[in-house]
Amino acid sequence: MTLFVSTRGGNHIPLNEALFAGLAPDGGLYVPTNLTPLPADPPRLTDLAATAHWVSPSLFGGTDADLIGRVATAALTFPAPLVEVEPGIFVLELFHGPTHAFKDIAARFMARLMAELDTQDALRTILVATSGDTGSAVAQAFHQLEGYRVVVMFPKDGISERQRRQMTTLGGNVRALAVRGTFDDCQRMAKEAFTDPNLSKELRLTSANSINVGRLLPQSLYYTFAAASLGWSSTPALFVAPSGNLGNLCGGLLAQMCGMPSLGFISAMNVNRGFADFLELGNFEARPSISTDSNAMDVGDPSNLERIRWLYRNDYERLRQDVTGISVADDETRACISGLYDRTGYVLDPHTAVAYRALERQDGHRSGPAVVIATAHPAKFPEVVEEAIGQNVPLPEGIASVMGAEEHMDEMPAELDALRAVLEAN
């Protein structure tokens, strides 16, 4: 049975306890203490749901495989096409879910897993901080789910209108809070709320950020699916992950630790390059986040670095063997969107463009195929994308439907007392 422990020590607990706790009482992040190796050769995996069922004994060991199968079948109802955009370069499109962002995969999986495992009737509060797509994915995943309410915090001036509207137009059990600050302020307040024993217990707080292991584990699924689609051990791939809070990268590293073959990982960052500097210099310093075109990656103090360091037992050299960090500026991002569109007609969103450009910088050094993780539909970022390609990007239904809808949100300062007042008043 797979047990979980805080990155800062403490007792070993089962998945359901780690899932509903979110953040550990000591402020650490839950990590699996043992991972069962995947079989040497996967069956033919046709979609993410089938992948979840196959991977479940490794990632969710001790949890009923049929339960995981039910969760995955209910949650992962959309495709994840692996598109060869240029010779040997594949884009794994993870933006075909309800909110057109890759966060739909883990958020929907987590919501349905909670619904299956929650044995209490009292209302549970899902508190989430977002720099872009997490909030809308979580809000959509838990919207109208009985027994749950969602409180989502986002930086007032730090996300696109289309991202914001996907959170603020739902209503019902979803409360949207526009914070006068940065994503790091939102994340700090969320952590402070979780580690406040009275607040956390009274409101049955649960995290839906990637600090929650229930959000993290499903992120291993799409890496495994891509590896199986390309041929598994016969054709291992280099994976390129757009990186902000590092949950995306951490999911890939977990898959590799379970036995998924790979040629390693590129962690692609915008100018918020703290993790790249850590990989280069060996020490990390939290810093204020910088606003960029790839706003969901504007993170100055990524939570999952603590988890990654624990998984590698602080073996810095082993981590450097597996992961290369590359930082990409906005001018390069826009040039990548424009250049790829001119060459192939394929349209990238700014976050995926950061990853694609990072790969281009390393392209002469790879020895096999590369998989770029596409994290969002380009229509979510019209100001950047449409200027870069000189064309309008058609709106998918999940975005078009919110553009004329009424918004409901409250503005607040970046202070725990302000958040506490909102939580306790509702």
Residue pair 262/254 in contact (Cβ under 8 Å)? The answer is: no
Residue 22 — left, alpha, or beta (φ > 0 → left; ψ -120 to 50 → alpha)? Answer: left
Residue pair 346/389 in contact (Cβ under 8 Å)? The answer is: no
In a domain, 258, yes or no: yes
**Domain boundaries, position 235:** 55-101+215-396
Residue pair 349/242 in contact (Cβ under 8 Å)? The answer is: no
pTM to 2 decimal places? 0.92
CA distance 272 to 276: 9
Q: What is the pLDDT of residue 208?
A: 84
In a domain, 344, yes or no: yes
CA distance 359 to 371: 9
Q: What is the pLDDT of residue 86?
A: 97
In a domain, 97, yes or no: yes
* The residue type at 377: H
Q: What is the pLDDT of residue 29?
A: 95
Domain count, the chain: 1
Strands across the sheet containing 30-32: 9-13, 4-6, 30-32
In a domain, 178, yes or no: no
Q: How far apart are the first and last CA of the chain?
A: 38
Q: What is the pLDDT of residue 158?
A: 87
Please provide the size of the chain in residues.
426
| Sequence-ordered strand ranges (E) for 14-143 | 30-32, 82-86, 89-93, 124-129
Which residue, among 111, 188, 123, has the nearest Cα to 153 in the 3D structure?
A: 188
Interhelix angle 416-425/183-194, rounded to 10 degrees, is 60
Q: What is the pLDDT of residue 198?
A: 85
Q: Residue-wise over 209-238: b if at least 16 C-beta within 10 A, else e?
A: bbbbbbbbbbbbbbbbbbbbbbebeeebbb
In a domain, 331, yes or no: yes
pLDDT (tens digit, 0 to 9) for every residue of the chain, 426 residues total?
789 999 999 999 999 999 998 889 898 999 999 888 998 888 999 999 999 999 988 888 778 888 998 999 999 999 999 999 999 999 999 999 999 999 999 999 999 999 999 887 889 999 999 877 889 999 999 999 999 999 999 999 888 898 899 999 999 999 999 999 998 899 899 989 988 888 888 889 988 878 899 999 999 999 999 999 999 999 999 999 999 999 999 999 999 999 999 999 999 999 999 999 999 999 999 999 899 999 889 999 999 999 999 999 999 999 999 999 999 999 999 999 999 999 999 999 999 999 999 999 987 677 899 999 999 999 999 999 999 999 999 999 889 999 999 999 999 999 999 999 999 886
| Sequence-ordered strand ranges (E) for 286-376 | 323-327, 370-374
Q: Using alpha carbons, list the distances in angstroms from residue 64 to 17, 47, 60, 76, 289.
A: 15, 20, 8, 18, 41
At 21 the three-state DSSP class reads helix
In a domain, 174, yes or no: no
Q: What is the pLDDT of residue 426?
A: 66
Which residue, among 232, 176, 266, 212, has the nearest Cα to 54 in the 3D structure?
A: 232
In a domain, 176, yes or no: no
In a domain, 122, yes or no: no
The CATH number linked to 376 is: 3.40.50.1100
